[in-house]
Amino acid sequence: MTDDPNLHDAACHCGTVRFRVRLADGFNTIRRCDCSFCRMRGAVAVSARLGDLEFLSGQENLTLYQFNTGTAKHWFCKTCGIYTHHQRRSDPSQYGVNVACINGVSPFDFPEVIVSDGVHHPADGPSGIAGVLRYSPA
């Protein structure tokens, strides 16, 4: 590993899919989305440019899911079913990376996470912030 604070190793739950990612702006881009798919998936994502994700192993074990316009591409491990990353519809030059896949990071490390308005998608017209998800340990 380097001293680059934006460079992280990541993996799915079973460890079959392993990758290294350089985050676009550290964890400053962390967010959730309230579209129909993200509501059910429940993941917190962080941004990376397309060229900044490198597979170390298991890329062939990913499966792709697309819906609606087919622009966004969501990848999952075929073995454990964990969502690892997706190519964004709102900005196809970026990946959203499941923060829970990043080594040593949990979605519960962040007391507040912005929830993007994916019901009114930016590609379809005006949208913005749907709310804020808050976590406070007991």
Where is 25: in which H helix or E strand? strand 24-27
Residue 36: the pLDDT is 86
Residue 103: the pLDDT is 98
Q: Which one-letter amino acid corresponds to residue 15?
A: G
pTM: 0.90
Over residues 79-84, mean pLDDT: 98
Residue 2 exposed, middle or buried by CB count within 10 Å (0-12, 13-18, 19+) = exposed
Q: Which of 104, 107, 108 is nearest to 138 (CA)?
A: 108
Residue 23: the pLDDT is 98
In this structure, are residues 57 and 15 in contact, taking their beta carbons and an 8 Å threshold? Answer: no
In this structure, are residues 59 and 17 in contact, taking their beta carbons and an 8 Å threshold? Answer: yes
Q: Which residue has the tokens 């890329």?
A: 59
Residue 85: the pLDDT is 98
Q: Residue 33 forms beta bridges with which residues?
A: 116
Residues in the chain: 138
| Digit-coded pLDDT (tens) for 51-62 | 999 999 999 999
Cα distance between residue 113 and residue 103, in whole Å = 19
Average pLDDT, the chain: 92
Percentages of the chain per state (helix, strand, coil), in multiples of 5 = 15, 40, 45
Residue 46: the pLDDT is 97
